[in-house]
Structure 1
């Protein structure tokens, strides 16, 4: 009809009309909208953005068909054509193309929900993802019937009127329990077992030195392992103490480092998790580490005797017989308090003067005995359990002639142990034996 009337295609006319109306609104100041208009306009724009995206996806499919605009212009696909002309990036264009194909070919009810505004775009993505998992990646020998798929789609579209995308994603993972309860338990068991096999096969951990004193560690691990690790780290980074009181920046590893000691600014959660991960590794029991090269895993720390005593200069860590890491003398002295880290002290001519004997380190028996009188970190206000702490020479470090006696043993959490060996801090010991740290000015 529109062709006979000599007018353009309705979609082309709609785009022209939208451009005209946007031109009218472009110069208007939204600050002059009334409260009622603000609510109406923002909700309306949000709905229209999703409806326009659905319209764009419908056109995107046509552009990519054989003989369409993409082929005529020499592009490999509609996504390539759009990415090259809108500079939106191929990844986002391809994601829109895949969603458009799924809506047009299989999930028309979801597409209709986008068009009438009952389903928003984030909801449509998670619904399609859940439905596609039943079709594109089925279990071997198992095909979900079309009527079950139809019920699943209808139910999720209906739920879009109530639930957020995250909630819909959780519902989508269990959708067969709703639309096909008779078969869902066996299906879910098989899905979980397959997911576990795939997760184990995909497990990876890589290390890449940045060259600036830090290393990027990238990991892909099974969900249950990640959840366990996250639980451990959050136990270390929780701002709450054992008594449930939030003591802020004055407490130990659990909350002291929620604020940067230099700037006083609150640290982001990812940095807190990184610090907790370092502390968690240092608290690992070396006796349970597998033998490495015929002996228990050890790290050799090499530095001069003068640097060790003065706290100035640098030291080197040799691990795995080949990896060398340079660090400050203060950090080396802190590490030297730990068992299984062997200080190799060198004289003026680099000859080995002493390679830390077992008596240089506090024994398991000494640590056990100390826990009877010291249950938590020795820093003021810190509640990290002593079993998670590192052994520190409370009076004089062994490099200054200190003795490894039980009376000299002091438990410090990794955070406060670093402060004890950090030349930027002074240490004050209270009559009760607890320590307080002050940044030097």
Structure 2
């Protein structure tokens, strides 16, 4: 057996030795390593893993040559051949095939760095991505020269000994400023213009009703639009640390509770952003919306008078003449506080008997006047600024005929406004004007 191995191809021999070495170590407890030996083993195994992956990629690349394994076995590519036989999925195999092709045909310094252990696989992927971006769809006559590309590759491979993949990617974004500063600004301008055109062409927004009361909204938008939206939503979700938060209490969290009030479980950031997006839409100024079909863009909530007063039954949201969805009476009462959402109260014969008008809602002047003396949300202990709050009919509910005078205006952040219309809570106005919420038992 040993003689057969000695006569085999070096890669076959390496596979045999690696297999034997792994079998030797498989039954040994790593806890028996001394402190320094444990450190050395972690670093050495990590480096060996990257070098082994480099060898595997070279073999994958060879499998795709004319007359190679993929062609012999009728496979479309080495990745599909490998995925079918290893059950590891096509995606990882294809990623390895693409990186193998890049370091074999275009970026050989990166490949040499992988083989020598000076570059790890995550770093190699980043470097290849950066370098490929310099040569993809160049403007005719303004291509990055081979000399500059060689300098960029050498510099990034050298910096792999200092920086992790994330840092390398940030360095790569400005690589021309390092290796060719005289052309960097013009090249970056062309790249950004091309990226902006592609982002505009790729912009999409889709809605898919799940059938469980929720809708999946999937968007692809330009980076600057996403950054702007993220900034707006973080105005509602950025944490506000205080003593009660340190104690683990349910505290205001940019307008939303840090923990679920029912379970005490900390809410994930994704849910907080979703709630913030809902609040953001409700806070949008309807007077700035474009005219739709000859009239201002509007949302109407229809509900029977008896259902509205009893908080039992359902309401219907109608947007631009189309019935959109049903909501509870409690939610209709909450939405009625919001300017631009028109409540249509129906009598017993389903004929509209009252259409709320914009003048019935709190005006910007009223909000400004109130904010001079009420700087934050009226909920006890909440510190969300009044400029982020909804206008709530605090004295008499709209459904009970309450007015929209300045004295009726109460600032509540989106989180506490939900509580004000939640039958699971009672509200009490304290002598100082604060509102206290208590869960019903």
**TM-score (norm. length: structure 2):** 0.94
Instruction: Report the equivalent of 2:108.
Output: 108
CA offsets 1:315-347 (integer angstroms, 9 cap, x no match): 111113224211221111100111211112122
Tell whether the 8 Å contact from 2:250 to 2:258 is kept in structure 1 after alignment: no
Structure 2 Cα separation of the partners of residues 255 and 8 of structure 1: 69
Structure 1 Cα separation of the partners of residues 323 and 19 of structure 2: 61
Instruction: Report the equivalent of 1:40.
Output: 40
Tell whether the 8 Å contact from 1:139 to 1:191 is kept in structure 2 after alignment: no
Structure 1 Cα separation of the partners of residues 435 and 5 of structure 2: 88
Asked whether 1:346 is paired with 2:346, we answer yes
Alignment of 1:8-407 (within 5 A): 8-240=8-240, 245=242, 247-248=244-245, 249=249, 251-254=251-254, 256-407=256-407
Structure 2 Cα separation of the partners of residues 3 and 51 of structure 1: 26
Structure 2 Cα separation of the partners of residues 412 and 286 of structure 1: 20
Structure 2 Cα separation of the partners of residues 246 and 189 of structure 1: 48
Tell whether the 8 Å contact from 1:156 to 1:168 is kept in structure 2 after alignment: yes
Structure 2 Cα separation of the partners of residues 32 and 263 of structure 1: 44
The residue matched to 1:67 in structure 2 has which SS? coil
CA offsets 1:161-216 (integer angstroms, 9 cap, x no match): 11111111111111111111111121112212222222222222221111111111
The residue matched to 1:141 in structure 2 has which SS? coil
Q: How many residues of Structure 1 are paired with residues of Structure 2 in the alignment?
A: 437
Cα shift at 1:124: 0.3
Structure 1 Cα separation of the partners of residues 342 and 231 of structure 2: 32
Tell whether the 8 Å contact from 1:253 to 1:416 is kept in structure 2 after alignment: no
Distance 1:48 1:355, change over 3 A: same
Q: What are the ranges of 5 or more consecutive residues in structure 1 without an aligned counterpart? A: none
Q: Which moved more, 1:202-211 or 1:331-340?
A: 202-211
CA offsets 1:204-260 (integer angstroms, 9 cap, x no match): 22211111111111111111222222222222211127xxx4652554351642211
**TM-score (norm. length: structure 1):** 0.94
Structure 2 Cα separation of the partners of residues 85 and 289 of structure 1: 57
Moved over 4 A (4+): 2-6
Distance 1:287 1:170, change over 3 A: same
Cα shift at 1:99: 0.8
Cα shift at 1:137: 3.0
Structure 2 Cα separation of the partners of residues 401 and 289 of structure 1: 28
The residue matched to 1:23 in structure 2 has which SS? helix
Structure 1 Cα separation of the partners of residues 108 and 417 of structure 2: 62
Structure 1 Cα separation of the partners of residues 183 and 132 of structure 2: 18
Distance 1:32 1:330, change over 3 A: farther
Tell whether the 8 Å contact from 2:343 to 2:356 is kept in structure 1 after alignment: yes
Distance 1:219 1:430, change over 3 A: same
Q: For the aligned residues, what is the CA RMSD? A: 2.1
Distance 1:52 1:323, change over 3 A: farther
Q: Which moved more, 1:290-299 or 1:333-342?
A: 290-299
Q: What are the ranges of 5 or more consecutive residues in structure 2 without an aligned counterpart? A: none
Tell whether the 8 Å contact from 1:393 to 1:409 is kept in structure 2 after alignment: yes
Cα shift at 1:264: 1.2
Tell whether the 8 Å contact from 2:256 to 2:414 is kept in structure 1 after alignment: no
Cα shift at 1:359: 4.8
Tell whether the 8 Å contact from 1:240 to 1:246 is kept in structure 2 after alignment: no
